[in-house]
Structure 1
Amino acid sequence: MRNSGLPEAGDAVLTLPPRYLADPQTYAAVTAIPADAPEAEQVRIARARRGLAPEGYRALREGPDIAAVLAAFHRAAAALVRPRLAEWRERRLRGARAAAQATAEQSDRLADGDVSHLAEAVVRAEEPSAYGKFGRCGRLDVYRA
């Protein structure tokens, strides 16, 4: 995830019908999959939200004024994610931005003939902290950041 995992952190708003985009609680009621719910309940919720997304997409495509309907969706999606922007900013600064800055610094050092950072390389193995969790696009194994 090149954006520090933001899609799995909730920045991808599903194209649900407008009635589900009214507020974060309504949206979460049909999209959140509780990690502690029984497997059958998790599958039921995932399938239900999968079914709602095309319904909402059709409303975007078949509206009498597609531009106005799309703009309304964009406003609703922005309102849904606004409470999480500070958290995402920190995630981005610690993750994607920090990695890009480190790469730029290493490239600059290489251009100057400085290869000392190569001696800092290590090999490590990571194990997932959770297996088979439902994500936006199916199941995923979760690794600590």
Structure 2
Amino acid sequence: MTGAAFPGGTSVTRLNVYTDAAPDALHGGTPHLHTVSTEAYIVTAGSGELQTIDRAGFHTAELAAGSVIWFGAGTIHRAVNHGGLEVAVIMSNAGLPEAGDAVMTFPAAVVADAARYADAATLPDASIDRAAASAAAARRRDLAVEGFGLLREAALAGRPEPLEEFYAAAVKLVSGRAAEWRGIWEERVLGDVSRTRGLLDDLAAGRSARLGVSGATSASPHDGEPKFGMCGLLRTYDISV
């Protein structure tokens, strides 16, 4: 018996949003965007807000237990923790966020330089020195908040040029990986679409042979210390089948 794929070629993560303060005195995560994927928050505890920047401007949305909010590729987002904010994160295109489809809002000079960006974005191995990884995650967040503040000021002033320049630099950073990412997408997302197409074809033809052969599949969060993510501490699930 083989397990069914997790719905829609998506991934799921448990997130505890960072509680320490950035230089602007707001507590929370690292502002960033995804170049391909859509992300959804299902708030399970606590409160906060989601700050976003896109071509429509700067926006905020309140987060409370039971809230559901999602945002597509290119929406810069920052999770702000007002207290105990915990989120179940659903990501489309499972495998692509893990492969690096996110770009953090470092200042323009850093995002425009691939080597400087990689140096600012990469964290040391937390299994070797967790304190060093935690400090590096805070520095990374603070640098991204600096760039986010500049983009927010421009958006509020009605100046689109800084955002467009950031988009162009973000695409340049990741465009060389598009062929590799397409392979992941075809296997995980199109594979799920193909399975649904096959079941619909079976229904239309009156066939039932593929029903009831997958059973139930469960997953638990990975053991050990949570990982240092962009928005907070992460517990990931292995939902491959």
Same fold (TM over 0.5): yes
- Alignment of 1:4 onto 2:94: yes
User: SS at 1:140's partner residue?
Assistant: strand
Aligned residue in 2 for 1:57: 148
Aligned residue in 2 for 1:137: 231
In terms of fraction of residues, the more strand-rich structure is 2
| Cα 1:72/1:130, change in 2 over 3 Å | farther
1:70 to 150, 163, 168: 163
Structure 1 stretch displaced more, 111-120 or 58-67:
58-67
| Cα 1:135/1:91, change in 2 over 3 Å | farther
What is the aligned length? 145
Amino acid at match of 1:13: V
TM-score by length of 1: 0.83
In 2, Cα distance between equivalents of 1:102 and 1:8: 24
Amino acid at match of 2:169: A
Contact in 2 for aligned 1:21/1:76 (Cα 8 Å): yes
Structure 1 stretch displaced more, 52-61 or 130-139:
130-139
Unaligned runs of at least 5 residues, structure 2: 1-90
User: SS at 1:66's partner residue?
Assistant: coil
In 1, Cα distance between equivalents of 2:204 and 2:116: 53
1:114 deviates by: 1.6
Aligned residue in 1 for 2:6: none
Aligned residue in 2 for 1:13: 103
Contact in 2 for aligned 1:129/1:144 (Cα 8 Å): no
Structure 1 stretch displaced more, 133-142 or 5-14:
133-142
In 1, Cα distance between equivalents of 2:134 and 2:166: 27
| Cα 1:127/1:140, change in 2 over 3 Å | closer
In terms of fraction of residues, the more helix-rich structure is 1
1:54 deviates by: 2.0
TM-score by length of 2: 0.53
Structure 1 stretch displaced more, 37-46 or 59-68:
59-68
Identical-residue share of aligned pairs (%): 36
Q: Which has the higher contact order (CA 8 A, sep 6+)?
A: 2
